Amino acid sequence: PPPRDLAGVKVVVSAGPTREYLDPVRFISNPSSGKMGFAVAEEARDRGAAVTLVTGPVTLPDPAGVQVVRIETALELRDAVLAAAREAELVVMTAAVADYRAAQRAGEKQAKVAGDVTIHLTPNPDILAELGQHKGQRVLVGFAMETHAGVERAALKARRKNADFILLNYPTREGTAFGGDDNEVTLVRPDGTSQAWPRLSKREVARRLLDEAVRLRTKG
Ligand code: C5P
């Protein structure tokens, strides 16, 4: 059986993609399946945590014994995560948050016009960085997908966002990351030290992620 090392601990997990609407029927998004975040939520639940899972649109059913909040946009994700995180001791951001949203979301479906169109995008808030600014005693964990200079870029992100560690993955390895059941990640700390894990099921990645978070919590 799993260890009960998160008994009574409040954990917030974000998962899935966000949708940034251009008009009522069109949006910018990404292929995140939510599987990694759901695995973290289920593993934390099984170790005794009180889990809130804030998820973008994915096809996965609500896990039993987890409080699930379904959102669509990055702004909705932010509101839900910040509200749930107030009481939390561990926050794991696996959500693939869109970096930008439409500067103006049209209230009605935009008709096709002749020739090119321009869409103005405005940056979304960085939720993990906001949590990092008011970190308190919380352990903060992020994910990052990079195509190059992964460890350096992930360490820089961990420092900028005040995260305790980041799990780095690559979009190009078959059967891993977006949509896959497995993941091949490297744990990267703010000081630049890192540890490459072998290819593992997302559930096993979740297990090791929580082991590391528990070690950090007990170190204080
Ligand atoms: O997109 P980026 O590589 O910076 O994502 C790193 C981490 O920051 C991820 O854990 C992601 O969920 C989080 N993030 C966020 N808000 C954003 C962008 C990313 O919380 N707007």
Residue 124 CA: which ligand 1 atom is closest? 21
- The predicted pLDDT at position 136 comes to 95
- The predicted pLDDT at position 37 comes to 98
Q: How far is the CA of 34 from the centre of ligand 1 (A)?
A: 14
- In tens, the pLDDT along 22-81 reads 999 999 999 999 999 999 999 999 999 999 999 999 999 999 999 999 999 999 999 999
Q: Which residues are catalytic?
A: 30
Asked whether 9 and 52 are in contact (CB, 8 A), the reply is no
- The predicted pLDDT at position 54 comes to 99
Q: For the chain, which residues score pLDDT lower than 70?
A: 172-177, 220
| Reported ipTM | 0.97
Residues with CB under 6 A from ligand 1: 74, 93, 95, 97, 124, 126-128, 142-144, 157
Residue ID of nearest Cα to ligand 1 atom 17: 126
Q: How far is the CA of 19 from the centre of ligand 1 (A)?
A: 15
Q: How far is the CA of 217 from the centre of ligand 1 (A)?
A: 22
Binding residues: 99, 109, 125-128, 143, 157, 161
Domains assigned to the chain: 10-97+120-219 (3.40.50.10300)
Separation between Cα atoms, residue 202 and residue 180, nearest integer Å: 9
The dihedral over CA atoms of 6, 7, 12, 15, expressed in degrees to the nearest 10, equals 70
- The predicted pLDDT at position 1 comes to 86
Residue ID of nearest Cα to ligand 1 atom 13: 128
- The predicted pLDDT at position 219 comes to 77
Separation between Cα atoms, residue 92 and residue 209, nearest integer Å: 9
- The predicted pLDDT at position 174 comes to 66
